[in-house]
Every structure is written in structure tokens, then in C-alpha cells.
Amino acid sequence: MAEHLARKSEASTDPRAIARAHAIYTPLMLSFYDVLVHGLSNRYAWKCPTPRLLSLYEANLTANHLEAGVGTGLFLDRAGAEFDRLVLLDINRNCLARAARRLARFAPTTCEANLLAPLAEHMAPFDSVGLTYVLHCLPGRMSEKLKAIDHLRPVMADGAVLFGATILGRGVTPNAAARTLLDLYNAKGVFNNREDDAEALAQGLNQRFATVEIERQGCVALFRAA
């Protein structure tokens, strides 16, 4: 089932950079993703254990939720929440298919869309939006990445919460494992976070929301805005 979010116009960012940022998510790679990212990298490289990210979901999910950049759907699977309406948005069909299968018990709706292009506004508003580990993938400077949030805001209800996390490339002290992964992923265009720091994230969120909370854990910035 697909909830249609048509693009109103094309994204201004280089389409090849946008494609490189998600091309890695093949069905085979997604079968290793949870172990690689949430099992190993979070703990040993980024120094932000997955239970910390999960607690962000447990605290902020509502029954009317949009997950933007869904990956394998791990957090929604594990958070213990119930949904009246769950929409999974991603540019990558493999992610949508895998997450929708995993979360089938919630009868999710899927939406294939590029967060760097405006979304159609006919979608009924959501009470919570998750955006985890997406910003560090998106090409461009923080100000350009945060256009993704500008595209999500029209589908947020009054008082809705946006929450998530992103791996920073600046102002952090990565260990050897993190440095290796940052080098590798940035070289491949899977990450584009060399210039991302907590200050730029805070500034961008504060420009857009009345209430902003940002917490640093290792190389990761966890955020909540309403």
C-alpha cells in the first residue's frame, strides 16, 4: 500500500550525491545492517549504545507517527509502541520493503520520497516524526540538509514532536574505529558529515522550532524539537 507523497519539484542538491547516500542499502546489505550499525558501530565506534537511541523512541513516539529514513525499522519494532497510523518514508525501496515486512503487525503505509525535495501537503498531519541517522547521510552543508526538516514540517501537527539522531563529523573526538568508518563512508558518499557539528544542528533546529533539546553521546547528537 502506498500513501502518495508526490514531489512538487526536484531537489536542488546533486542527484548523484543523493543517490550515493542510499545506494548501499541493497537487500543483502540490509540483512547485515542491524548487526553492523546498531550492534557494533553504535557501541564501539560512535559510542552511543543502541539502547540510548531506543529510549529516545520510547519517550517520543505517538500513535500517529511518520518515520523518515526508515532503514530496517529496528527502533519501531523494538520500542513497544502501538500505532493508529504509521507511515514509513524513504527514498530507497529496499528499505521500505524490508521495514514494512518487519512492521507488518502495525499495517504501515509506505511512501517512497526524497527528503531533499518538497513533499505534497495533502497528507494528514502526524503527531511525531522520527529522523534517525539520516542527516549525516544527506549531501550538503547542515543548512542544506535541514531542508529535509522544512519538507517534513508541513506534515507535522501543531505541537508535534520531531526527534532523532545524527552522527557528527566535527567537534567530536572519534576513536580509531570511528575515524576509519568516517573516512570510508565519506569517501563513498554514504555519509556526508565532515562539516556537521552540534552548533550548526542546534542553530538550524532553533530557527525552526520553539523547543529544542540536543544531547551529545559520543559522536552522536540526539535531538528533540517541538
CB of 87 to ligand SAM, least distance (A): 13
**Which residue, 138 or 160, has its beta carbon nearer to ligand SAM?**
138
Alpha helices (runs of H) in the chain, residue ranges in sequence order: 15-20, 27-33, 50-60, 74-78, 93-102, 142-145, 147-152, 176-188, 198-208
Side-chain half-sphere CA neighbours of 18 within 13 A? 18
CB-count burial class (<10 Å; 0-12, 13-18, 19+) for 34: middle
One of 70, 182, 212, 222 touching ligand SAM (CB under 6 A): 70
**C-alpha–C-alpha distance, residues 12 and 186, integer Å:** 20
Task: Based on the shown chain and the rule CB under 6 A, indicate whether residue 185 belongs to the binding site for ligand SAM.
Answer: no
CB of 108 to ligand SAM, least distance (A): 14
**C-alpha–C-alpha distance, residues 209 and 153, integer Å:** 10
Task: Based on the shown chain and the rule CB under 6 A, indicate whether residue 106 belongs to the binding site for ligand SAM.
Answer: no
One of 48, 69, 156, 166 touching ligand SAM (CB under 6 A): 69
# chain residues binding ligand SAM, by CB under 6 A: 20
**C-alpha–C-alpha distance, residues 189 and 51, integer Å:** 27
CB of 173 to ligand SAM, least distance (A): 22
The contact pattern for ligand SAM, residues 4-23, with x = CB under 6 A and - = no contact, is --------------x--xx-
Q: How many CB atoms lie within 10 A of CB 171?
A: 13
The contact pattern for ligand SAM, residues 118-137, with x = CB under 6 A and - = no contact, is --------------xxx--x
**Which residue, 128 or 206, has its beta carbon nearer to ligand SAM?**
128
CB of 70 to ligand SAM, least distance (A): 6
Q: Which residues, including other chains, have CB under 8 Å from residue 150's CB and lie 6 or more apart?
A: 208
Helices (H) and strands (E) counted in the chain, each on its own, are: 9, 7
Task: Based on the shown chain and the rule CB under 6 A, indicate whether residue 95 belongs to the binding site for ligand SAM.
Answer: yes
Distances (CA, A) of 13 to 132, 147, 198: 20, 10, 22
Of the candidate spans 56-64, 91-99, 118-126, 217-225, the one that interacts with ligand SAM by CB under 6 A turns out to be 91-99
Of the candidate spans 43-51, 87-95, 178-186, 196-204, the one that interacts with ligand SAM by CB under 6 A turns out to be 87-95
Scanning the structure block, which residue is given the C-alpha cell 531542508?
147
One of 66, 76, 86, 91 touching ligand SAM (CB under 6 A): 91
Contact residues for ligand SAM, defined by CB under 6 A: 18, 21-22, 25, 69-71, 74, 90-92, 95, 114-116, 132-134, 137-138
